[in-house]
């Protein structure tokens, strides 16, 4: 094991897949000569050249549609959105073109493509640069949605995403880019669709994904001090959701809290709780709960922003209330 920040884990996944498949290419704004707005693609242009690390104009609808067409033409595009907020400009090409074509063509035309970039809030970038699109994409048949937390998962899941014959939404988090985690030194990938138990416990199940896992783990430490043993599940993939792992855990712990940084209504938590109440209702000793961003566009001011995003204390308090 070596330690790498999430940023370079993502870069390494792309580089390794590009080395093994000449049809994989990266396209997006500032991915090449600038080496990535968040330096995720650092060094790639010097290795692969500007034919495969394609700097685009600021033209999200255009280059997203172009990438969909390129995938029809036999390529495997990795589309980087500088942040996922800008993908709203291109949402038609993601949903109507990428996600639906395989079905509408009766299985004749598949779209192998990865859409990736930082998702959700960062630090004081306000509403238009802080949107968490997780729940939105999990609503769409024909898409896979991945949201890793640590470096090893980011690398292993991105490699699977690039090899996947379907369109994959890959949600990163700007605040995790600098976080350092262990990464296996072997050649590996992690299958899409499997959750990971980050910490096992016996009294309550906490599910989360992406940066929310960090807060959930911290909350579990606080709970430990109160003699509450929390099991923390990193969902890793949001669609298809690994409900088996969640149900199995809830049957053991009999309590559930879902944590997400997106909004609560029609969110990931709603989906998880619905699954759990329908499949493990009799095992629940307390109402399943969810914690999410407050229902407002994310404000700019640091103190207001902090109020909106669930942290370890919010999670800790909510969990404790269930006993």
Partner 1 sequence: MLKDKDYSNIIDELGGGRLLAKNLSKFTNIVLNEKTVYSWKQQGIPDRWKPSIIKLLLKAGGTIPQGFIPPGMSVNNFQDNSSLNTELLEKYDNFNENDISNKTLESFYEKMLYLRRFEERVGQLYGLGLIGGFCHLYIGQEAVSVGMEAAINKDDNVITGYRCHAHLLSRGASPYKLLCELMGKGDGISKGKGGSMHMFDPKNNFWGGHGIVGAQVPIGTGLAFASKYLNKPSLSLTYFGDGAANQGQVYESYNMASLWKLPIIFCIENNQYGMGTSIKRASAGTDLSKHGESFGIPGFAVNGMNPISVYLAAQKAVKWVREGNGPIILEMKTYRYRGHSMSDPAKYRTREEVQKMREEQDPIEFMKKKLVDKKIYSSKKLQSIDDKIRSEISNLAEKAINSNPSNEDDLYTDVLCEDYDE
- Annotate each residue in 294-323 with x if it binds partner 1 (CB under 8 A) or - if it does not, as one string: ------------------------------
Residue with smaller CB distance to partner 1, 163 or 251: 163
Alpha-carbon distance of 312 to 221, in angstroms, equals: 9
**For this structure, is 16 an active site residue?**
no
Q: Is 68 in the site for partner 1 (CB under 8 A)?
A: yes
Residue with smaller CB distance to partner 1, 90 or 292: 90
Alpha-carbon distance of 196 to 180, in angstroms, equals: 18
Name the minimum Å distance from CB 107 to partner 1. 4
Q: How many CB atoms lie within 10 A of CB 15?
A: 18
Q: What is the DSSP string of 129-175?
A: G----HHHHHT-TT-EEE---SHHHHHHHHHHHHH-SSEEEEEE-GG
Task: Record the tokens describing residue 110, joined without a space.
Answer: 């598949």
Alpha-carbon distance of 225 to 222, in angstroms, equals: 5
Residue with smaller CB distance to partner 1, 5 or 69: 69
Q: Is 186 in the site for partner 1 (CB under 8 A)?
A: no
Contact 54, 48 (CB under 8 A): no
**Helical (H) or strand (E) element with 116:** strand 113-118
Name the minimum Å distance from CB 203 to partner 1. 30
In the set 37, 75, 157, 204, which binds partner 1 (CB under 8 A)? Answer: 75
* Overall residue count recorded for the chain in this entry: 323
Chain centroid to Cα 175, Å, comes to 13
Q: Is 189 in the site for partner 1 (CB under 8 A)?
A: no
**For this structure, is 305 an active site residue?**
no
Task: Record the tokens describing residue 148, joined without a space.
Answer: 């890793």
Q: Is 33 in the site for partner 1 (CB under 8 A)?
A: no
3-state secondary structure of 257: strand
Q: Is 56 in the site for partner 1 (CB under 8 A)?
A: yes
Name the minimum Å distance from CB 51 to partner 1. 7
Considering only 8-16, 32-40, 90-98, 270-278, which stretch makes contact with partner 1 by CB under 8 A? 90-98
Name the minimum Å distance from CB 76 to partner 1. 10
Residue with smaller CB distance to partner 1, 144 or 211: 144
Contact 55, 29 (CB under 8 A): yes
* Residues acting as catalytic residues: 60, 129
Residues at the site binding partner 1, with contacts judged by CB under 8 A: 23, 25, 51, 56-57, 59, 61-75, 92-93, 96-97, 100-110, 141-142, 144, 165-166, 240
């Amino acid at each position: 094991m070596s330690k790498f920040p999430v940023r370079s884990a993502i870069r390494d996944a792309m580089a390794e897949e590009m080395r093994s498949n000449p049809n994989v290419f990266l396209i997006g704004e500032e991915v090449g000569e600038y080496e990535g707005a968040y330096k995720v693609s650092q060094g790639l242009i010097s290795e692969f050249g500007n034919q495969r690390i394609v700097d685009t104009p600021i033209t999200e609808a255009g280059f997203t549609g172009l990438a969909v067409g390129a995938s029809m033409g036999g390529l495997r595009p990795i589309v980087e959105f500088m942040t996922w907020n800008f993908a709203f400009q291109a949402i038609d090409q993601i949903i109507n073109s990428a996600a639906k074509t395989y079905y509408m063509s009766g299985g004749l035309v598949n779209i192998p493509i990865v859409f990736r970039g930082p998702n959700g809030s960062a630090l004081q970038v306000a509403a238009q640069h802080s949107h968490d699109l997780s729940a939105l994409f999990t609503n769409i048949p024909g898409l896979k949605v991945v949201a890793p937390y640590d470096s090893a998962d980011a690398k292993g899941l991105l490699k699977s995403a690039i090899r996947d014959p379907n369109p994959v939404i890959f949600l990163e988090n700007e605040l995790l880019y600098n976080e350092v985690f262990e990464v296996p030194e072997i050649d590996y990938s992690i299958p899409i669709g499997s959750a990971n138990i980050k910490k096992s416990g016996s009294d309550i199940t906490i599910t989360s994904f992406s940066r929310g896992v960090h807060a959930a783990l911290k909350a579990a430490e606080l709970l430990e001090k109160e003699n509450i043993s929390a099991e923390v599940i990193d969902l890793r993939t949001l669609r298809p959701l690994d409900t088996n792992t969640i149900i199995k855990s809830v049957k053991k712990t009999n309590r559930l809290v879902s944590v997400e940084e997106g909004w609560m209504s029609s969110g990931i938590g709603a989906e998880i709780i619905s699954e759990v109440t329908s499949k493990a209702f009799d095992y629940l000793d307390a109402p399943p709960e969810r914690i999410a961003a407050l229902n407002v566009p994310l404000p700019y001011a640091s103190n207001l922003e902090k109020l909106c995003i669930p942290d370890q204390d919010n999670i800790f308090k909510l969990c404790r209330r269930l006993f």
